[in-house]
Amino acid sequence: MPRYRVMDHTADLGVYFYGATPEEVLINAGAVLFELMLSGKPRSGDIQKTVILEGLDLEDLLVRWLSELLYFFSVRKEVMTGAEIKSLSSTRLEARIKLAPFDPATQALKMEIKAPTYHQLELKPREAGWRARVIFDL
């Protein structure tokens, strides 16, 4: 099963994320977010953070998760290098993430992603696993 697929979208960036579970979809979405934005390899992640989010439903948690990861990059200049979902319910997410400082000597910005949007947002089970659809504002 692929981790993601970019979909045609007129002005912004649409991405399908896949996983066997909703937890795996969230981890793949976070990792792919940085793959789409950056070229080059980050240093190994030596900064660890616990992220606790509350939302209205799984789809809202997905947007909040991606927004949190963008915050770490945009404000703190940190790149996610790993993640583990500690617990997930329909309204609460707790994750442990590894971050590394953004290193312009080894990485470059390929695409600036401003934010995930709620437009056409989806996170649902499929015949084989789960799939999310996210449209990112560029």
SS (H, E, C) 17-71: EEECCHHHHHHHHHHHHHHHHEECCCCCCCEEEEEEEECCCHHHHHHHHHHHHHH
pLDDT in tens, 1-54: 799 999 987 889 999 999 999 999 999 999 999 999 999 987 776 899 999 999
The residue whose two tokens read 């971050």 is: 99
CA 23/CA 44 separation, integer angstroms: 23
Closest Cα to residue 99, out of 51, 134, 133, 52?
51
**Which candidate, 36, 34, 22, places its Cα nearest to that of 85?**
22
| Tens-digit pLDDT profile for residues 87-115 | 999 999 999 999 999 999 899 999 999 99
